[in-house]
């Protein structure tokens, strides 16, 4: 089987299980340690954003991670029912600004884009947010 899926309530208590699923999928796909670390970091950043920002105005809802490595590259589908958020709507961080001039935070999506090869967002008014991360797992 070249697929793995996990659904949990979007809470920080469930984050270790979500990250363990990312590790397991990468290991089963034969990804290098470097690729596993990159996938894990991207999944962690997106999951924490869903947990802390997406569901911030109400009770936590579901978050689903679905990994597919049937063909290379690997796709990671992240679905939630939190408020809509398009990562493309964010301005690029001012990386050339001094630390004193930078606002706290704001680097997470930049980091996600550095860790994966492609980020696609698709809102669905009836089913929630769908984010696809694409990552080359083999040379």
Point out the least confidently predicted range of 64-68, 71-75, 92-96.
92-96
Give whole-number Cα distances, 101 to 36, 94, 96, 98, 106, in Å: 33, 9, 10, 5, 13
Q: What is the mean pLDDT of residues 25-33?
A: 95
Question: What confidence tens digit (pLDDT) does each residue in 88-138 have?
Answer: 666 665 555 565 665 555 566 778 988 999 999 998 888 889 999 999 987
Give whole-number Cα distances, 14 to 17, 47, 59, 68, 74, in Å: 6, 10, 15, 21, 23
Point out the least confidently predicted range of 42-46, 54-58, 60-64.
54-58
Query: How many folded domains does the chain comprise?
Result: 1
Beta-sheet pairing, 62-68 with 74-80: antiparallel
Average pLDDT over all residues of the chain: 87
Cα 25 to the chain's mean position, in Å?
A: 14
Domain, as residue range, for 26: 3-135
- pTM for the full predicted model: 0.85
The pLDDT assigned to 127 comes to: 83
The pLDDT assigned to 33 comes to: 95
Q: Distance between CA atoms of 139 and 134, rounded to whole angstroms?
A: 14
Q: For residues 49 and 90, is the Cβ–Cβ distance under 8 A? A: no
Give whole-number Cα distances, 96 to 32, 37, 106, 107, in Å: 31, 26, 14, 13
Q: What is the mean pLDDT of residues 85-90?
A: 65
CATH (domain of 39):
3.30.565.10
């Amino acid at each position: 089987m070249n697929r793995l899926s996990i659904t949990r309530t979007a809470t920080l208590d469930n984050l270790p299980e979500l990250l363990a699923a990312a590790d397991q999928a990468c290991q089963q796909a034969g990804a290098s340690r470097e690729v596993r670390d990159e996938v894990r970091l991207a999944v962690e950043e997106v999951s924490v954003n869903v947990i802390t920002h997406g569901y911030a105005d109400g009770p936590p809802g579901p978050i689903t991670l679905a990994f597919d490595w049937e063909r290379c590259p690997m796709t990671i589908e992240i679905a939630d029912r939190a408020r809509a958020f398009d990562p493309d709507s964010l301005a690029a961080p001012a990386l050339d600004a001094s630390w004193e001039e930078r606002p706290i935070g704001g680097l997470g999506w930049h980091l996600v884009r550095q860790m994966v090869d492609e980020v696609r967002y698709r809102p669905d008014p009836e089913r929630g947010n769908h984010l696809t991360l694409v990552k080359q797992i083999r040379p």
